[in-house]
Structure 1
Amino acid sequence: MVLGFDEIEAVRLKDLLSFPQEEAARVMGVSQPTFHRILKEARRKIADALINRKAVRIEGGAYAYDSHPFRPCRWMRGWGMACEELALMAEEELKRRQPKGGDRMKKIAITSTGDTLESLVDERFGRAKKIILYDLDSGSFEVIDNSLNLSSTQGAGIQMARNVIECGAKTVISGHFGPNAVRVLQAASIELYQALGMSVHEAVERFKDGRLQRLYGPDKGPHW
């Protein structure tokens, strides 16, 4: 049984990362009908392999795999380069883009209802108004607007998780987390903490003192 790289990518985006079909198609650079066809065929092959005990081989041309858990694989055809060379290029690019380890560890992302540390923690992770990115060493912070995500009919948690990953934080504090957001955050090794009915400042202080509850899974269902 042979699975193409495009089929694996479709399954990864839709079934592993729970992307809405429209966004998954956009990431792959194909139309929604084409994405649906690719995904349907991939699922059929996987079901056939599992039920009938068939070996699965993945192939389909030169490609570069970006090991970041959220970024899509990038399909590169006709370059005349070995897959190993392309993979090394992707790995080096990822290292260049990512913040240094110490920088990641000292930054925490807190969902907020406003622009200051006295603002309340926004308890809806996916549709929080703001993200406050707080530096534990210096006490400085920056505010990231999330207003474009507030009206999303679906995929808000995934998009917010994507924003947190791009910020370079390794810890996120919010009120409640749905399963799709948790799946993406945990794939990026980001720790989740819960803060209810308190200001951002209080949440930060409790986190420093080890008095915030850590979550190891979602505490709400999808689309809550």
Structure 2
Amino acid sequence: MARPQSNRRVCLGDAIPRVFKPAGIPLQDLEEVELTEDQLEAVRLADGECLYQTAAARRMGVSRQTFGKILAEARRSIARALVGGKALRITGGTVIREEISPVHTKIAVPTRDRFVDSHFGHCEAFTVFEVSRDSLVSEKVIPSAHGCGCKSNIVATLAGEGVTLMIAGNMGAGAVRTLNGHGIMVLRGASGEARAAVEAWLAGSLADSGEVCREHDHGESDH
């Protein structure tokens, strides 16, 4: 079974036209080529902002390899539309319309003895790392609530601290939805020392595994 596609972060304004077409030809007379929002974002980052692909991949929350595939598909679609005189339609895609930039953000990591805890809901504490311009500038430990964290108010607490990204080991779909609902993006599949995991994300070598923990499901609040 293919791994489910993880959400890609995009920073696109609502004012972007949804269709581009050759002048003077009615849209109904043109064949259309689709360009998804994540493909458009890849072009914006790589060709518009001239970012290296490693940095652009980090901005979108995907691996370097995945970013390269998205960008290649985008360029093929644009070429088909331009060379073939077709309309180019911007469509949805598996995206989260929110940007997390390492220029300044706070990252929470479920930890136990300074290592990434494999279970978000039962970790010992959350270590919050403050990042500014690709550097770690501070860290703060927030004790975890007693019992299952996914049923406590810890998510609201982290959001109140200004956390915009959580780097974790395993986590269920319900917990991911809860975190996303509080404006916190999730990156799963991390292990080892918490600080090293954050540094790996800054280096562009850590991306969401897309794996869902089902060991201790709690319905909509699984972790």
TM-score of the pair, normalised by structure 2? 0.44
Which structure carries more helix by proportion?
1
TM-score of the pair, normalised by structure 1? 0.44
Which structure carries more strand by proportion?
2
